[in-house]
């Protein structure tokens, strides 16, 4: 069964049952991702290995595409501008973060709204790409790589810059606190 709807993109764009199910389930997926990320933006124990992992993963999210973008200056610039913007937001986010040193360990409470926005920027872009790939299935249009779009590189740069710098700053904070405790 196929439905025909007039859209701004194509006068007779076809929607199958699978497409309609995807359109109905996408908001549910976005809500689940949002609620899962929101749980991570609460008070949490500072664990050094997680911060090291954050530095490595988000650093790789910048360095891997960087090696592929030297022949496309706009995409390279978008990644670097995004990373710079993400680092700027991380500096601001660190000023809003509440740090605690208790007998039970080190804790921090990140700024929930800022972390959610940084995460959802990348999630929204990846969902858009997924829907675009699905819509172009069987049309003979080649699938683009993630590094082919300056907007995608901007989103990757913002998210990776924010969380990478934030993780590195948490490591510095832990070291500073430990050093102060050792000197006492």
| CB-based burial label for 153 (10 Å; 0-12, 13-18, 19+) | buried
24-76 tens-digit pLDDT: 777 887 888 888 888 778 888 888 899 999 999 999 999 999 999 999 999 99
| Comparison of pLDDT for 4 and 84, the residue scoring more | 84
106-154 tens-digit pLDDT: 999 999 888 888 888 988 888 888 888 887 877 787 877 888 889 999 9
Residue 105 has pLDDT above 80, yes or no: yes
pLDDT of residue 15: 62
pLDDT of residue 8: 46
Question: Which residue, chain included where needed, has tokens 């430990």?
Answer: 178
As a whole number of angstroms, the distance between CA 152 and CA 121 comes to: 10
Nearest CA to 99 among 7, 172, 150? 172
| Comparison of pLDDT for 162 and 131, the residue scoring more | 162
As a whole number of angstroms, the distance between CA 83 and CA 85 comes to: 5
pLDDT of residue 74: 94
Let me know: does 44 contact 107? Beta carbons within 8 Å: yes
pLDDT of residue 73: 93
Instruction: Put the strands of the sheet holding 98-102 in their side by side order.
Output: 44-45, 105-109, 98-102
């Amino acid at each position: 069964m196929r439905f025909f709807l007039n859209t701004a993109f194509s006068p007779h764009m076809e929607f199958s049952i699978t497409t309609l199910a995807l359109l109905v389930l996408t908001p549910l997926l976005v809500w689940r991702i949002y609620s899962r990320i929101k749980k991570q933006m609460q008070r949490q124990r500072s664990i050094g290995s997680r911060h090291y992992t954050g530095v490595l993963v988000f650093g790789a999210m910048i360095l891997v595409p960087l090696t592929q973008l030297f022949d496309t200056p706009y995409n390279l610039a978008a990644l670097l501008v995004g990373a710079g913007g993400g680092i700027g937001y991380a500096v601001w986010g660190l000023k809003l973060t509440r740090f605690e040193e208790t007998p039970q360990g080190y804790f921090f409470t990140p700024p929930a709204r800022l972390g959610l926005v940084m995460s959802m920027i990348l999630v929204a872009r990846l969902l858009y790409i997924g829907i675009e790939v699905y819509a172009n299935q069987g049309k003979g249009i080649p699938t683009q790589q993630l590094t082919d779009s300056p907007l995608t590189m901007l989103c990757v740069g913002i998210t990776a810059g924010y969380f990478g710098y934030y993780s590195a700053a948490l490591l510095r904070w832990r070291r500073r606190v430990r050093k102060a405790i050792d000197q006492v």
